[in-house]
Every structure is written in structure tokens, then in C-alpha cells.
Amino acid sequence: MKTIPAALLAHYALGTTTLATAIRIERADGTILRLTSHDKDDIITGVDSEINGTYLCDPGFVASAISIAVGCDVGNTELRTLHDGTVFGVEDILGDRWRNAEFRIFRYNYKSYSDGVDDLLAGTFGEMELQRGQVVIELHDLRRYLNHPIGDSSSKTCRYRLGDDRCRKDISFSDTPFTVLFSVTNVTSKYVYRDSARAEAEDYFGEGEVQWLTGDNAGASRKVKTYAANGTFTMALPLFYDIQVGDTGIAIAGCRKRREEDCRDKFDNVLNFGGEPDRKGSDDLTKTPTAEAVLSTYRNWL
């Protein structure tokens, strides 16, 4: 049950109010953005360490009607702000720097910050859309993650993600050689580069991941499509910014979900393999029996 500060509740009861709506956004890289619907910047103090700060009126924002759902349904709204490139740049949006950013929307009295705040919605960013003159961002509350489907279906390859709770393989940075630092020595394009110091075998990082630590692409991550023994990485998707010689990052070994080649021989983790490569498929179980199979079954009955 939500509790509204008494001073703010008393202000609500007045015939005329001085209320504004604000949003605090924190990206995965720690960047914090504060915006207000008020027509001037507000420096909020005396609330709490997370809320306190300067809230910008430029470019400002407008939140559409906030839907507060019950049960496990997801509450949501939309954030609309001017697209002038100063806050939500095209490069940052396409470079995934705002992906899954956390937000908190609240209402406050801009004449008396000490009245406290009335929280309206908190959660993470959804899809971002660039429109003419504005940016539209889907905002979903934390119950969004409760609506992810849970379940398994059989498959010949492993269904687990390398390093998750079911795989149980530790791929933290301390667990070399599965996670290593790389430094770019040659650049071919926005998705092909080389680290000449790498000495891993062909395809070692194939289907793995690279996370960029420095350079213009710092904070971005990409799936590795292929890896050559000379240290050449080819990513599945290009980066938005150019890769520069000297850029560094973390490369995580790839797993192509095969029982022998990957789980047993590469990661020594075959006991946690999550597939059924020897299970008969539906075609084998339901296909029309051959004459030889019928005769064999008949002979066994005799």
C-alpha cells in the first residue's frame, strides 16, 4: 500500500496546487538523468539521496496516462521528450546505452520540496522510438519480468545460457581462459577487428560475447559471429561508433550448445548439459513403419 507524505497530501486537498512530475533515470553505465515537467529547473533537496538533485526543464518531458495494474499485470506509460540530440542522442539510442535503464516517476510540490514526493511508477525502459521532433520511450514497471514465459521444450542442443544458474559454469573474469581482456590492433570495419595478441583456437569465441570497456563504444556489447585463430573477431551486428586501434574490452568464450564439442571438451561441464541429442524426434516416432520393421515385430511375437 502506497503512503503519501502528510504535507503533500494536505497540499493535494487545496483548491489550487503547485505540482510537477519528475523522472529520475539511471543507465546501466551509471549515468543519471533527471527531468521535470515544470517550466524551470528544480533543485530538489531534503527528500532522500536518490531523489535529491537538479531536475531539468529542457528538454523536459511529458508522461502519458500512467496505467497502474493489479496482480501480475504490468503497469506502463510513455515518456515523450523533445528530440534535440542533447539528451537522447541517436548514437546512444542505437548504441544500446539506454537499454533497460531504470526509472522512477514521482510528483512533488515545486514550491515546497520538503513536502516529500508521491511515487507514481518505477521500472525499466522498454522500446525507444525516434519520431519527428521527439523521442518516445516505453516505460514498464518491475512486474514486467514476472511476465516472462517460464518453461522448457526438448532440444538436441543445450537450452541453457553459458554461465547461468542451470549451466553452473563460472565464466567470471577470474575464470580465465573463458573470459579475457582484448585490445584492438587492427580494424577492418565496425564489426570486424583483430587483437594480434590472441592465441586461442579457431572459433574459440564464436557465439560468445564482447563487452567494450574503452573507446567510443564503451558500455556496448555484441555477440561474436565468428573468431579466427589469428585473433580476428567478427561480430553479428556492427557497432554504431567506429572501432579504434587501442580500444579494449572483455571477450567471453562462445558456446554453440553442443554436448561433446562444447560442453564436454571445451568447458568440462557435460554433467550440466541441458539438451537431449539422443532423443527420438516426432518424425521418428510417428512415421509409417517399414515392412522390415513390421516383420521384425511379428517375429518377436512368435
pLDDT in tens, 156-189: 889 888 988 889 888 877 657 899 999 999 999 9
CA of 87: how far to CAs of 25, 38, 92, in Å?
12, 17, 9
228 class by beta-carbon count within 10 Å (0-12 exposed, 13-18 middle, 19+ buried): middle
The per-residue pLDDT for 294 is: 64
d(CA 178, CA 251): 8
d(CA 87, CA 284): 57
How do the pLDDT tens digits run along the chain, 302 residues long?
678 899 999 999 998 899 999 999 998 888 899 999 898 999 998 888 889 999 998 877 776 666 555 554 555 677 777 776 677 777 777 777 888 889 998 999 999 998 999 988 888 888 888 777 778 888 887 766 666 566 667 788 898 889 888 898 888 776 578 999 999 999 999 999 999 999 899 999 999 999 999 998 988 889 999 999 999 999 998 988 899 999 999 999 999 999 999 999 999 999 999 988 887 766 666 677 677 766 766 666 65
Say whether 107 sits in a helix, a strand or coil.
strand
> For residue 251, how many C-alpha atoms fall within 13 Å in the half-sphere facing its CB?
31
Strands (E), 72-231: 76-82, 102-109, 117-131, 134-141, 179-183, 186-187, 192-194, 209-212, 221-227
* pTM, full prediction: 0.60
The per-residue pLDDT for 263 is: 93
Q: Check residue 73 and report its DSSP letter.
A: P
> How do the domains of the chain map onto residue ranges?
6-147, 179-271
Q: Please write the tens of the pLDDT for every residue from 107-148.
A: 999 999 989 999 888 888 888 887 777 788 888 877 666 665
Cβ-Cβ contacts under 8 Å for 104 (sequence gap 6 or more): 23, 24, 50, 51, 119, 121, 122
Element (H, E) at 159: none
